[in-house]
Structure 1
Amino acid sequence: MAQSKPQRPWLKWAERVLLVLLLLVGLTLVFSSQIESYWIQWQSHQKVTNISQQEVKRGEQQTGTYNYKNVQAVSENAIVQSEKARKTDAIGSIEIPALKINLPIFKGLNSENLTIGAGTMKPEQKLGEGNYTLAGHHMQNPDVLFSPLAKAQKDQVVTVKAGKQTCRYRITKIKVVPETDVSVLNDVPGKKLLTLVTCASGNPGETRRLIVTGELMK
């Protein structure tokens, strides 16, 4: 009678390693969105709490890009992009305590920078003058980036810092418009405004835009 060959110890070890790897891959796929959201929030917090005046000066000297069509949705490369964004010089911050928003502001609209903060939408705009416009992503996670703007209400206060200047705005208008309506970025004679722009939802392919407008508080 032929004797069965004993199973090699290294083969059992390899099987166990393979099972562990498959388990880790499965967990990563299941919780990838949660991991991504946590990472973005952490990178954003690290950035906004460590902005110095020296960094702001460097950020203001950069040349921003303002082509809205080139801005891409947050992708599977968000972790890598957010790490690059954290190393980019910011020009200020935006805080809405009622919505738990506290984000860095970058010059221009850059897909990497928007993974952790907001971007200015017009060149040469100045805080406290005309219509100061900022854009940010609306994620499926309602607590990340500009997603909380979906719960914005009139009279909530927005604090924006740029350089050595700090301005407080009171939200006066909230509306949804088609993505083609760029009139919301225009200055309004006699008014000092803040306009926040994000997608109307976190759904892929969303074509509407949520517009939150505030007026400068005296």
Structure 2
Amino acid sequence: MRSVVGVVFLLAGGLLLLFPQYEKRAYHEEQEELITAFEQLGEWETAALADGDLEQNQQAEYVVAKDARGMLSIPAIDLEMLFFDGVSVDALNKGAGIIEPEKKMGVQNVSIAGHRGATYGKQFNRLNELKVQDELHVKMDQEDYTFIVDKVFVVDQKQVDVLSDKESPYLTLVTCTPIGEENPTDRLIVQGKLVNKEEV
């Protein structure tokens, strides 16, 4: 009997070790599919107008990608994710969210919030690894924006002045910290200054 219990515990332990890797891979695959869908929106809309239909496996991705405002890419931490208007549970489960959707990218200080996620590489999990001079890329409204990180710091959740406009266009990334703490009261902030803007 003890050997059976031992085997069960061994298998359960193995599954617990493998689950985060499975979850991470599934998350990355889902994000890649959504990013592809976002990039193919124009083609899909044309196909939908011409044929009146999309393949079934494209429909769900199309619906999500169509709602996306843009794509955030951070090469230093190998992150690509879509972002949406607002910071609702739905928006943050699909990607990241623009805290004040009425602000203009490349003109004001636009803030994007995302979950920290306990799984390595998921959502804003590795945001703390960013350093001054790292690049942040945003694709939005037929424009590519490049920001250079000039500040990485932690503030209390009530310190909302980090969202205020500055003299130059900025991108501010916001996530909870530390990882794993229930109802954390601090926020990790990464701010980058606009250095380039190009039409796609």
TM-score range, shorter chain: 0.7 to 0.9
Alignment check: 8 A CA contact 2:24 2:120 kept: no
Residue 172 of structure 1 aligns with an amino acid whose one-letter code is D
| Matched-pair identity in % | 29
Residue 49 of structure 1 aligns with an amino acid whose one-letter code is T
Equivalent position SS for 2:30: helix
Q: Which residue of 1 aligns with 2:175?
A: 198
Residue in structure 2 matching 1:115, options 68, 93, 97: 93
Q: Which residue of 2 aligns with 1:187?
A: 165
Name the CA distance, whole Å, in 2 between partners of 1:167 and 1:197. Answer: 18
Cα RMSD (Å) of the superposition?
A: 2.6
1:36 to 2:13 alignment: no
Which sits farther off after the overlay, 31-40 or 175-184? 31-40
Residue 109 of structure 1 aligns with an amino acid whose one-letter code is V
Deviation of the 1:29 alpha carbon: 5.0
Which sits farther off after the overlay, 198-207 or 154-163? 198-207
1:154 to 2:141 alignment: no
Post-superposition CA distance 1:31-81 (Å, at most 9, x none)? 4333333222221121112214747xx9xxxxxxxxxxxxxxxxxxxxxxx
Matched positions, count: 169
Give structure 1 stretches of 5+ with no counterpart: 1-21, 59-83
Equivalent position SS for 2:31: helix
Residue 151 of structure 2 aligns with an amino acid whose one-letter code is K
Residue 100 of structure 1 aligns with an amino acid whose one-letter code is D
Residue in structure 2 matching 1:208, options 178, 186, 199: 186
Name the CA distance, whole Å, in 1 between partners of 2:193 and 2:125. Answer: 21
Alignment check: 8 A CA contact 2:163 2:172 kept: yes
Residue in structure 1 matching 2:119, options 116, 133, 141: 141
Post-superposition CA distance 1:73-106 (Å, at most 9, x none)? xxxxxxxxxxx78842211101111111111111
Name the CA distance, whole Å, in 2 between partners of 1:86 and 1:184. Answer: 34
Name the CA distance, whole Å, in 2 between partners of 1:115 and 1:43. Answer: 12
Greater strand share, structure number: 2
Go from structure 1 to structure 2 and tell me whether the alpha carbon gap of 1:146 and 1:153 turns closer, same or farther (over 3 Å shift): same
Name the CA distance, whole Å, in 2 between partners of 1:54 and 1:35. Answer: 28
Residue 93 of structure 1 aligns with an amino acid whose one-letter code is M
Which sits farther off after the overlay, 190-199 or 141-150? 141-150
Deviation of the 1:150 alpha carbon: 1.0
Matches of residues 54-203 of structure 1 in structure 2 within 5 Å? 54=41, 87-88=63-64, 89-188=67-166, 190-203=167-180
Alignment check: 8 A CA contact 1:116 1:145 kept: no
Alignment check: 8 A CA contact 2:37 2:62 kept: no
Name the CA distance, whole Å, in 2 between partners of 1:31 and 1:51. Answer: 30
Alignment check: 8 A CA contact 1:191 1:215 kept: yes
